[in-house]
Amino acid sequence: MTIEIKAPTFPESVADGTVATWHKQPGEAVSRDELLVDIETDKVVLEIVAPADGAISEIIKAEGDTVLSDELIGHFEEGAGAAPAPEAAPAAAAEPAAASAEIKLSPAARKMVDENNLTGVAIVATGKGGLVTKEDVVKHLSHAAPAAPAAAAPAAPAPIMEMDTGDKIEKRVPMTRLRKRIAERLLEATSTTAMLTTFNEVNMEPVMTLRKQYKDLFEKTHNGVRLGFMGFFVKAACEALKRYPAVNASIDGDDIVYHGYQDIGVAVSSDKGLVVPVLRDVENMGLATVEDTIRSYGSRARDGKLGLEEMQGGTFTITNGGVFGSLLSTPILNPPQTAILGMHKIQERPMAVNGEVKILPMMYLALSYDHRLIDGKEAVQFLVCIKELLEDPARILLEI
């Protein structure tokens, strides 16, 4: 039974996608729910799995091709097994690709293997599940000894790695759709908003003391959920957004849209770029739920498992450069949101407290905001509110 392999149904905000990687080739046996192909959009990488046990019978859209929502990209034969190698064919007449069937090759890599007569050559694979990618072949060629006959193989088209006379290696690869979209949104934020940043600092000792006192009991009570710092910042931001609704608003043309809920995005770093999954209705979430959801988002972002719906919307964003050691930065807005909070590294510093010098764990906070909607006074007061809530965490619970 032949089954159509189609691209996923994209939401309205996603026009199309790109075939990133075929993990299985025609004739290769696969099991039900085994990964067939990755479709990359400008927000997330979507996976298409096998609908049943069988094999791909035809690939219509190759790697790098653009696909629309629900577009046909291949055919799948239910119940089919791996195509057996032809036994009667003489060894000299074997196709290069057939001789390379022992290793998994992407379509682009297979083409380069054929063009460079690399049949049967061991190439180090870096793709998922031992897949040899085009970049793996290029790397192998760049490190291999020069071939004896100069005209033995045609030149590979558009190499992505070159070496000049000074033995300096350059690597040229196309930007992913996600990276392109990140670039577009950053340029959009800087060119279409009146962005300013205000700074403050917060004494993290109260939160650290509270966390140290209750982290074991918290983890035991909430089924292994660990008590981190991000949950305190999310809940403090939620409370501050209630008090300063303009920071939670957005601009739509000539209108101001005030949101009666707090959907807070938390920036998460992945190998493919920065993504911002959204915590929905934070005002109704407990600290344990916040922490558990953030950890789930982080893990799934690194594995490429986040769904498009989990990154839609959001009324405010928090980004934490401190996990990478950043001491101070100016975060860029995430349109159409009008503010973003930047967390940074906790650094012990000498501070004046009641006429005495004390060593305290301090963190710089940065709030970037759209001055078209938020006045400087309101932005400063919002950031001071977060500072006060964190320096006296009981106020978060008491909402005072």
Q: Is-contact 30 140, C-beta < 8 A?
A: no
* Among candidate residues 112, 109, 86, 82, the one with its CA nearest the CA of residue 99: 86
Measured torsion, CA atoms of residues 186, 191, 193, 196, in degrees rounded to the nearest 10: 80
- Look at the block and give the residue holding tokens 């963190």: 363
State how far the Cα of 89 lies from the Cα of 86, in Å rounded to an integer.
6
Residue 229: strand pairing partners: none
Q: How many CB atoms lie within 10 A of CB 309?
A: 11
Q: Is-contact 378 195, C-beta < 8 A?
A: no
Q: Which helix (H) or strand (E) holds 390?
A: helix 376-391
State how far the Cα of 54 lies from the Cα of 281, in Å rounded to an integer.
43
CA 64 to chain centre: 19
Catalytic-labelled residue, pool 33, 70, 303, 375: 375
DSSP state string for 31-53: -TT-EEEEEE-SS-EEEEE-SSS
Q: Residue 204: which residues within 8 A CB-CB, separation 6 or more? A: 229, 346, 360, 361, 362, 363, 390
Q: Is-contact 53 79, C-beta < 8 A?
A: yes
Q: Residue 183: which residues within 8 A CB-CB, separation 6 or more? A: 175
3-class SS of residue 231: helix
260 secondary structure, DSSP code = S
Task: Tell me if residue 371 is catalytic.
Answer: yes
State how far the Cα of 9 lies from the Cα of 388, in Å rounded to an integer.
45
* Among candidate residues 287, 285, 261, 263, the one with its CA nearest the CA of residue 276: 263
Catalytic-labelled residue, pool 70, 281, 371, 392: 371
Catalytic residues: 371, 375
